[in-house]
Amino acid sequence: MAFVNEVVSDADIDAYGLPFEKGKGHWWTRDKERDLYLWGGEFGNPAWGDDVEGHFSFFIDGKTLRLALSLGVWSKNWNVRPYIVTWDRLLWIDPADCHAIERSRVIDLVQEALVAYGRDGRENRNTPDRIVRFGF
């Protein structure tokens, strides 16, 4: 099974100790077969002078990593086909040693999850035809 975007079940909120209110329809990008998930999204407000970054939690090998990514150039118009999403740089991973998981494996799997995540980690109705690129 590959990564898919889906609504987190109440049972999964309990099983993984996720910080979501039950029944509220929170989304994640999950590979159920390999027991991997990614959740998060854009963080920061440029109106307040913040850089907008991607902040995510990534679950792998029974451990949760936090990571931040800088946004590269994204398509400005929903109608552009294909829609382009570029994650420019990996800013940080916490913990830095990736819980002793091989860093290159973590990055490969995060990139795989982000391809499914697409524009917003939901149904991607506005950007079904998209290309996700990486600068890292």
Tokens of 116: 């499914």
Q: pLDDT digits over 81-99, tens only?
A: 999 999 999 999 999 999 9
Q: Please tell me the predicted confidence (pLDDT) of residue 116.
A: 97
Rounded distance, CA 129 to CA 83, Å?
6
Q: Phi and psi of 16, rounded to 5°?
A: -100, 0
Please identify every stretch of the chain with a pLDDT value under 50, giving residue numbers as ranges. Answer: none
